[in-house]
Amino acid sequence: MAVPKRKTSPSKRGMRRSADALVAPTYIEDKNSGELRRPHHIDLKTGMYRGKQILTIKDNA
């Protein structure tokens, strides 16, 4: 059975646990449509990314 050779200090323990924090996903307001979207992602309603038309939008008929 594996047993630690030394006690983990509170500092080392805290540094290890620092990556466990939960963060809410980031959303930004689109410049053209005003919709919320993730940064560096395509706006799925308009199909635009960085001022260029990437996706063609189908009509919901």
CA–CA distance, 44 with 38 (Å, rounded to integer) = 10
How many domains, the chain? 1
* Domain span including residue 30: 24-61
The pLDDT value recorded for residue 44 is 84
Indicate whether 41 belongs to any domain: yes
pLDDT above 80 (res 60): no
Indicate whether 55 belongs to any domain: yes
Q: Is 26 helix (H, G, I), strand (E, B) or coil?
A: coil
Indicate whether 28 belongs to any domain: yes
pLDDT in tens, 5-22: 999 999 999 999 999 999
pLDDT above 70 (res 61): no
Indicate whether 12 belongs to any domain: no
Indicate whether 18 belongs to any domain: no
Are 35 and 29 contacting, i.e. CB atoms less than 8 angstroms apart?
yes
Indicate whether 2 belongs to any domain: no
Indicate whether 19 belongs to any domain: no
pLDDT in tens, 44-59: 888 888 889 998 888 7
